[in-house]
């Protein structure tokens, strides 16, 4: 198996008309088979990374490789790449295309020319998993933001990409649907999909991810396991990212040594959960 699915090497990107570049020599490799989280302040370049990852934008300099091969930007190559690299947009409105929920979820599958039976079975599974059965025939523009978000994730997930990029997937979701989503991600990861999730929810990152990328000003500044990354509390504070709650307790200078021992035990249990 390929060790890294997608590799950014010294990638620069500036939006047309912008004064400053959004990616500033980004070097980052997404390891195959992992549940990766991407964290960083607003505007540090997470969404831009995603848009370059499936070839929607082209770097001004540097290289992006998919399974060791430099990305090409012709129509044929890109449509194949996008079957392997699925991107769930931050804003669901950018993604929904069809008039009803069911049509929207089947839209990408129809473009893959799959047999009707296969399309029907994947759509039904997605409707059930995301709790969208009752909304299947509703017009997408009549739904709440959280419902639209769930549809936009289902749209991409049914395509079964090798790498699934999720830009703030839990934004707009309530607790119940966040839990459902995490369960679904566990299932698809178990089936072999590599995941990269951009999020500001550090508690979720600490519990969910097995690899974390930290970006700042268009560059990768730190990466590692949750343990390695969240132990760097000085750097994370300097970047104004803060820490998951359990690590905040761990680094609380006012705790007695007994309290620290309890927190450390809780942290270890939390990491295993």
Ligand X SMILES: Nc1ncnc2c1ncn2[C@@H]1O[C@H](COP(=O)(O)OP(=O)(O)OP(=O)(O)O)[C@@H](O)[C@H]1O
**Positions in the binding site for ligand X (CB under 6 A):** 15, 18, 22, 40, 42-48, 90
Please list the alpha-helical segments (H only) found in 86-137: 101-111, 116-129
Nearer to ligand X, 44 or 243 (CB): 44
Nearer to ligand X, 26 or 250 (CB): 26
Nearer to ligand X, 40 or 86 (CB): 40
Residues 6+ apart with CB under 8 A from 150: 130, 131, 132, 173, 177, 181
Nearer to ligand X, 23 or 195 (CB): 23
- We find the least distance from the C-beta atom of residue 37 to ligand X, in angstroms, to be 13
- We find the least distance from the C-beta atom of residue 171 to ligand X, in angstroms, to be 9
Instruction: Tally the residues of the chain.
Output: 273
- We find the least distance from the C-beta atom of residue 198 to ligand X, in angstroms, to be 6
How far apart are the C-alpha atoms of 89 and 50, rounded to whole Å? 9
DSSP percent split of the chain into helix, strand, coil, nearest 5: 45, 20, 35
- We find the least distance from the C-beta atom of residue 46 to ligand X, in angstroms, to be 4
Nearer to ligand X, 11 or 44 (CB): 44
Q: What's phi and psi for 172, nearest 5 deg?
A: 75, -5
Count of Cβ atoms closer than 10 Å to residue 43 Cβ: 12
C-alpha 104, offset from chain centre: 21
How far apart are the C-alpha atoms of 213 and 218, rounded to whole Å? 12
- We find the least distance from the C-beta atom of residue 258 to ligand X, in angstroms, to be 39
Cα distance between the two ends of the chain? 28
| Two tokens, residue 184 | 């679904």
- We find the least distance from the C-beta atom of residue 15 to ligand X, in angstroms, to be 3
How far apart are the C-alpha atoms of 71 and 5, rounded to whole Å? 12
Nearer to ligand X, 48 or 95 (CB): 48
């Amino acid at each position: 198996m390929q060790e890294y699915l997608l590799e950014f090497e010294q990638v620069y990107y500036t939006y047309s008309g912008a004064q400053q570049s959004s990616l500033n020599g980004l070097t980052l490799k997404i390891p195959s088979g992992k549940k990766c989280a991407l964290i960083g302040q607003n505007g540090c370049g997470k969404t831009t990374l995603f848009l370059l990852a499936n070839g929607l934008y082209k770097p001004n300099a540097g290289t992006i490789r998919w399974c060791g091969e430099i990305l090409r930007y012709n129509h044929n190559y890109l449509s194949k790449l996008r079957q392997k690299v699925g991107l769930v947009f931050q804003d669901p409105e950018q993604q929904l295309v069809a008039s009803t929920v069911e049509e929207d979820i089947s839209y990408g599958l129809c473009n893959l020319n799959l047999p009707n039976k296969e399309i029907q079975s994947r759509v039904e599974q997605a409707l059930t998993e995301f709790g969208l059965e009752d909304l299947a025939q509703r017009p997408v523009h009549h739904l709440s933001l959280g419902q639209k978000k769930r549809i936009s994730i289902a749209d991409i997930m049914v395509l079964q990409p090798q790498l699934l990029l999720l830009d703030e997937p839990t934004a707009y979701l309530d607790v119940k649907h966040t839990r459902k989503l995490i369960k679904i991600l566990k299932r698809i990861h178990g089936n072999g999909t590599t995941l990269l999730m951009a999020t500001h929810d550090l508690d979720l990152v600490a519990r969910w991810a097995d690899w974390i990328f930290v970006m700042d000003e268009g560059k990768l500044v730190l990466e590692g396991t949750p343990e390695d990354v969240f132990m760097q509390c000085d750097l994370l504070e300097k970047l104004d990212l803060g820490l998951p709650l359990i690590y905040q307790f761990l680094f609380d200078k006012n705790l007695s040594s007994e309290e620290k021992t309890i927190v450390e035990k809780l942290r270890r249990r939390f990491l295993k959960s």
